[in-house]
Amino acid sequence: MKTARNAALVAVLSAAAIELHELGHRAVFWLTGTPARMGFQRVDPTVPVSEALRLWGKAGGPLVTLVLALAFLAVARRRPSFAWAAAAFTQASLRLLPLTFDVVRALRGAHPFSDEGDLALGLTVSVPGRTALMLAAWALFAVLSLLAARTFPFSRRRWPKVAAVYLLSLAVGIAAVLGDELVVHGT
């Protein structure tokens, strides 16, 4: 029963982490008075915007994710519990897969995959520069993920359980992408 409850909590926290990330994008457009539409996995301005505002909009999601990961990590370290550890971990690990894709794409000089990839391309078209920016972002979220993983109150076999939490969180993220495609494109 406890395992099912913890799995449900991870699923809910993962879905919430995704939507909080999207709300970070939406907040930038709202604060600038720019109309935008929000889906499960995207926020798009409904009017033409400058490149600078587009990049700020892209930055909003990762910044909210970073701030929440840091805040939940601080709480999880002071008040150890599965819930706080899972909140910190889902926030911190949310960006790892997209950033991994973008490191590979940056190395190939290909079109960005993630918000951070768009930001890196907005800052430099240099393959080494983009790759360095992507690796720095990946390393930041990887370190936060490891620190959050260490706050789980698992007494034995910590890392397989942390891997299971990550895989469940990843499954929720993939389901959100698929759901967004179905809703937006009807495919």
Each of the 187 residues of the chain gets a pLDDT tens digit; together they read: 688 888 898 989 998 999 999 999 999 999 999 999 987 778 999 999 999 999 999 999 999 999 999 999 999 999 999 999 999 999 999 999 999 999 999 999 999 999 999 999 999 999 999 999 999 999 999 999 999 999 998 878 888 888 888 988 888 888 877 776 777 666 5
In angstroms, the CA 22 to CA 24 distance is 5
Task: Return the residue matching tokens 């709300």.
Answer: 23
pTM of structure: 0.89
Amino acid at site 135: L
Which runs of E-coded beta strand occur in 21-172? 36-38, 43-45
* CB atoms near residue 133 (< 10 Å): 21
Q: Could you read off the pLDDT of 62-103 as tens digits, one per residue? A: 999 999 999 999 999 999 999 999 999 999 999 999 999 999
In angstroms, the CA 33 to CA 31 distance is 6
Contact in structure between 105 and 181 (CB atoms under 8 Å): no
Four-CA torsion 155, 72, 181, 137, nearest 10 degrees: -100
